[in-house]
Amino acid sequence: MDPQILAILMVVSLFTLILAGVPVAFAIAGAGLFFGAIGVDMNLFNLLPARIFGVLTNYTLLAVPLFVFMGILLEKSRIAEKMLDVLGLLSGKKPGGMAIAIIVVGILMGASTGIVGATVVTLTMISLPTLLRRNYSHSVSCGTICASGTLGQILPPSLVLILLADISGEAIGPLFAAALVPGLLLACMYILYIVFLSWFFPQHVPPIDIEERESYSRKELYIEFIKSVAPPFILIFAVLGSIIGGLAAPTEAASMGAIGSLVIVFLSKRLSMEVLRETLYETMKVTGMIMFVLLASQIFGLSFRGLEGDYLVEDLFAAIPGGMWGSIIFMMFVLFVLGFFLEWIEISYIVLPLVLPIFHALDINMIWLGILVALNLQTSFLTPPFGWSLFFLKGVAPKEIKTMEIYKGVLPFIAIQIFVIGLVMLFPDIALWLPKAIGWM
């Protein structure tokens, strides 16, 4: 059989296995081993040990467990819950104030955790009952929480950006710098949407009752702000500033962030053996999942190239009209559609290694393209029916929250994300001006 036919069958079988519920890493490795063995021969896999060794000795990937540890520790110690309470009371006298506070906490948690599941679950458990008690619209509440929780996918130190740097071969520092402005722009667009609702539909986002606001004096709130909000913000600024400013490598900055989070939790008197044990367990679980998929993708990639699949992808993109822009739009469309069914890590290690060499050959700025991809992958967390943020929220939401209310709530935020992707496509300097100003490019 023609090797390229086998390459197509391998991809089809992979998606079939994933949609059938087979764990991602087993599906990737199984499809790669089977079709590589029948389409080439087992000698093809003699190259596999060198590939695995390259992954395991990749210094940049050492930042993954350290950043995961930093984020999970801040989440398990319930510092995020205190941040939301303080920011909500500070902004609660205006319609939409609590929703804006959730977005701000989403920014801080996203920049400290980079883990969407932890952020969405935390925001849901600590804020959704409060929003419902304050008569917020169900759909607005759910949409705000889901969208805010996904900001960690684009705001550095995002795991998506770290793995994109590994896949594309780009330095992590410029990617972090390039993601900062688009990520904050997206958050500002979310806030503008809430402001719009507060002007024209205030009944959907009512202010906090005056009795609740007056339970704390203004002075007490400012003291709580300094104690609960300022330390994580300073930690995030120090970690990202050291990477973007070139003072530390990502792994060194990640280790500083992990130690800094321990200090913050200790000083807040929230550090205990139980918190530390849960944090280490979750860190090992998340890191193990990522590394297992990464190693399995080496088998799949080796088989795909052995079956001449890379030539098949080149021919496909050559047939797309519109030249460079046609190829970019086509890739973005494919990633967006796959986001309805697959998780970001599956898309990253199945699709991107196949298509990025095409754009390397077109001499496209890979930093700019990486930010477009990251924004697109972030959208996949919100797109029904299989958006993971929707599942995370539904899993811990009160029974009164209906699935259709969640879907309805995220639609405006999906539209905002598509709009921001369009802006970054049309105006690349939104992403590139900061790396250029720092001297990375």
- Which sequence spans correspond to the domains of the chain? 59-438
- Per-residue confidence band for 113, with pLDDT thresholds at 50, 70 and 90: low
**In this predicted structure, what is the pLDDT of residue 264?**
84
Q: What is the pLDDT of residues 276-319, one digit of tens each?
A: 898 888 888 878 877 887 788 788 878 877 777 767 777 777 77
CA 120 to CA 117: how far, in whole Å?
5
CB proximity list for 139: less than 8 A, separation 6 or greater: 405, 406, 408, 409
Q: 323-381 pLDDT, tens per residue?
A: 788 888 988 888 887 777 666 777 777 788 878 888 888 888 889 999 999 999 888 77
Average pLDDT over residues 80-109: 75
- Give the Cβ contact number of residue 163 at 10 Å: 24
In angstroms, rounded to a whole number, what is the distance separating the alpha carbons of residues 108 and 198?
23
Give the pLDDT confidence score for residue 385 in this predicted structure: 67
The CA distance from 34 to 174, in Å, is 38
- What is the value of pTM for the model shown? 0.79
Return d(Cα 316, Cα 304) in angstroms, integer. 15
> Looking at residues 191-215, what average pLDDT do you find?
79
Over residues 213-257, the pLDDT tens digits come to 556 666 777 777 777 777 877 887 777 777 777 677 777 877 888
pLDDT (tens digit, 9 = 90+) per residue, 12-65?
887 788 777 777 778 888 888 888 888 777 777 777 787 788 777 777 777 778
HEC letters along the chain: CCHHHHHHHHHHHHHHHHHCCCCHHHHHHHHHHHHHHHHCCHHHHHHHHHHHHHHHCCCHHHHHHHHHHHHHHHHHCCHHHHHHHHHHHHHCCCCCHHHHHHHHHHHHHHHHHCCHHHHHHHHHHHHHHHHHHCCCCHHHHHHHHHHHHHHHHCCCCCHHHHHHHHHHCCCHHHHHHHHHHHHHHHHHHHHHHHHHHHHHCHHHCCCCCHHHHCCCCHHHHHHHHHHHCHHHHHHHHHHHHHHHCCCCCHHHHHHHHHHHHHHHHHHCCCCCHHHHHHHHHHHHHHHHHHHHHHHHHHHHHHHHHHCCHHHHHHHHHHCCCCHHHHHHHHHHHHHHHHCCCCCHHHHHHHCHHHHHHHHHHCCCCHHHHHHHHHHHHHHCCCCCCCCHHHHHHHHHCCCCCCHHHHHHHHHHHHHHHHHHHHHHHHCCHHHHHHHHHHCCC
CA-nearest of 125, 43, 108 to 392 is 125
- Is residue 180 within 8 A of residue 244, CB to CB? The reply is yes
Q: Which of 173, 181, 178 is nearest to 252 (CA)?
A: 173
Would the CA dihedral through 223, 228, 231, 233 be positive or negative?
negative
Mean pLDDT, rounded, of the chain: 80
Closest by CA to 136, choosing from 198, 60, 205, 194, is 205
What's the rounded Cα separation, in Å, for the pair 416 and 435? 24
Q: Which two tokens stand for residue 281?
A: 């367990």
Dist CA 275 CA 282 (whole Å): 11
pLDDT band at 185 (very low <50, low <70, confident <90, very high): very high
Round the CA-based radius of gyration of the chain to a whole number and report it.
22
Who contacts 438 (Cβ-Cβ below 8 Å, separation ≥6)?
177, 244, 245, 246
Tokens of 233: 């913000």
Show the tokens assigned to 41: 């021969």
The closest of 177, 129, 147 to 415, measured between CA atoms, is 147
